[in-house]
A and B are shown apart, each in its own frame.
Chain A
């Protein structure tokens, strides 16, 4: 059988899926849980608690700050000790709520039973009910971008959703949290897909999975054998297939026009498999988004594994549970080695979008010395958006922002294929991202000057 994949560019990094066969373990409760208020795309959440308040697992800490925003719930029980600032994965201080953990008392409204609820048993869950429950539970994209899920389910006027595509690609090296989720919670996942399809009023669902996860493909194909509406799509391995645009291309053979167009412009709504399970928990179990799966891995980590982690747990605790940092130089990434951000402190907490903590050690932690660009064109052939990374990097370095915009820098999805493939070890993506952020700022300023009404931006790209 010919496997589908995306058409333009792509690279083949080594997999290092060390933790693929490690069943998910429950991480210990943290001493202090940290909840940054901007752990989703869009407006900051607004705190509804104050210092000294007692909270339970599932208590609302902060409400959504706008349409594109999401509420934040406490993942622990204890006392709110601070509404201040803490460092997050971006390296900046962010407004946060900090809870001192005492015991583990859950909000009684949450159904903690393992009993599987099916959508067919609940005809009362209409599209509107499902969407409002997802929104209320603070569910955001679990693949890494943390775009509020309900916003994706309400397509802009003039567009019509035709299918839901679940992203089970997990093309980043090291990360295995989505794989474990598919293996351990396939039923919840499929009910979650049912709910998403009903909420988006579509009759077709796809689950895209790369061929390096044959067990997941087999399991989900078996489970969906009786359901003609759902199709499991095995995909040839290629990075960044988990990118939303690449996945749509691979699965339904359509390409999304340049930004600000969204996948729904070609009829697709893309959600991570983790999001489907979170949707199931939110709708069927009344459980807000307070936990997620995180892969903690690295070649020299002694006990790497997959963990079910309460949001707000600091990285340091997860790394300790895996045997601590190896001796020598280490670089700790929030995410995988291709797109993950190196964190400046191990106090950074697990947020809604943290799918992995990757530790690069020794020579992997160091950048190689850049050599001159010899215009070999490898970055051009690798770019999955059909851009010219060498040119964008040079234009960014020389601050040629108008030209940079004309060369479509805003289409860059930050996948890092260019930097990965560069034989001269040039920091191509670093340069492009700097230039891109300036160009995005200029575009925003322009559209603000044109019409004062605030416009919602599309989901930023992420690859899981």
Chain B
């Protein structure tokens, strides 16, 4: 778990540079409240020894914050943390038993409960503002707008791929705290692959599927954004690298992980392009979390002796 925290450090630093005090408030509130709720629920409701030392509550808190806008009021963050830890994790018996990614449960609960606060995104560079930050449309909103209006020229307002990679979108809302800089997230991916915390199967299949599927759509009709912009925008990198790879809620076998990754990538594009929300990553992951037990049941590793012989 602590390896995941280390892998998140580049993205955390970038968020502090871009959002300043807002990011600091959201991150610290989310982590502190997740740890508190885990401790309180273990001790007073489940009446078991709180096991905070595994770091899983910290990871949940960080990932929840990464999925929130930097100008979200503290009371909404507290509700998100309570839902993430309380409903997403402890109801099922705590670490290792939850079918859904707790941070995403909290995030999606907030998204459907507070759709206004959850979908306004501060523009960069307001280091001292928190609730009063100026907001703007995100690249994803532009993409959705282009599809709805059937007007590919709207896509010309999109920042360049380099700008999206580094998170320097001019005059646009940047998105959730953790999704502003794809480069920082990719750095985290490289670290986790190097330390063998995760394998390539889930993140790469998600990103590749989204790239191929949205690329085909782009070729068929230019109102769909180009695939490079699609994979660099929104929560795709954050979801593919940090959310979908959660051990507890993803399949055990490499084969299963590839099925899971392809399905998440496919669902993400479907929700982004034709759903009512501009971003589909969280929903896609939660939907596939539900399929994980089924995948584990039917997709077995290659047994010794199965592949017979030259």
Q: Determine whether A113 belongs to the interface, using a CB cutoff of 8 Å to chain B.
A: no
- Judge whether A258 and B305 touch: CB under 8 Å: yes
Shortest C-beta distance, A291 to chain B (Å), equals 35
Known contacts A375-B252, A380-B252; is A8 also within 8 Å of B302 by CB? yes
When each residue 1-31 of chain A gets 1 if its CB lies under 8 Å from chain B and 0 otherwise, what string results?
0000000100000000000000000000000
When each residue 54-79 of chain B gets 1 if its CB lies under 8 Å from chain A and 0 otherwise, what string results?
10100000000000000000000000
Residue of A nearest to B51 (CB): A371
When each residue 366-399 of chain A gets 1 if its CB lies under 8 Å from chain B and 0 otherwise, what string results?
0000011111110011011111101100000000
Question: In the docked arrangement, what's the CA distance between A428 and B271, Å?
Answer: 40
Segment at the A interface, from B39-47, B92-100, B125-133, B272-280: B92-100
Question: In the docked arrangement, what's the CA distance between A114 and B303, Å?
Answer: 47
When each residue 238-261 of chain A gets 1 if its CB lies under 8 Å from chain B and 0 otherwise, what string results?
000000010001000111111001
- Judge whether B247 and A408 touch: CB under 8 Å: no
Residue of A nearest to B93 (CB): A372
Question: In the docked arrangement, what's the CA distance between A375 and B303, Å?
Answer: 19
Out of B51, B250, B251, B305, which one reaches A255, CB within 8 Å? Answer: B305
When each residue 389-424 of chain A gets 1 if its CB lies under 8 Å from chain B and 0 otherwise, what string results?
011000000000000000010010000000000000
Q: Determine whether B204 belongs to the interface, using a CB cutoff of 8 Å to chain A.
A: no
Task: Tell me the count of chain B residues lying within 8 A, CB to CB, of chain A.
Answer: 26
- Judge whether B305 and A256 touch: CB under 8 Å: yes
Shortest C-beta distance, B303 to chain A (Å), equals 4
Q: Determine whether B301 belongs to the interface, using a CB cutoff of 8 Å to chain A.
A: yes
- Judge whether B308 and A257 touch: CB under 8 Å: yes
Question: In the docked arrangement, what's the CA distance between A375 and B54, Å?
Answer: 14
Instruction: Identify the interface centre among B97, B252, B296, B308: most chain A CB within 10 Å of its CB.
Output: B252
User: Which chain B residues border A391 with CB–CB below 8 Å?
Assistant: 296
- Judge whether A373 and B253 touch: CB under 8 Å: no
- Judge whether B303 and A408 touch: CB under 8 Å: yes
Residue of B nearest to A384 (CB): B304
Shortest C-beta distance, B288 to chain A (Å), equals 15
Question: In the docked arrangement, what's the CA distance between A204 and B97, Å?
Answer: 53
Known contacts A372-B94, A372-B97, A376-B247; is A245 also within 8 Å of B304 by CB? yes
Shortest C-beta distance, A374 to chain B (Å), equals 5
Q: Determine whether A266 belongs to the interface, using a CB cutoff of 8 Å to chain B.
A: yes
Question: In the docked arrangement, what's the CA distance between A388 and B295, Å?
Answer: 13
Known contacts A387-B301, A388-B301; is A375 also within 8 Å of B306 by CB? no
> A: which residues have CB within 8 A of B?
8, 245, 249, 253-258, 261, 266, 371-377, 380-381, 383-388, 390-391, 408, 411
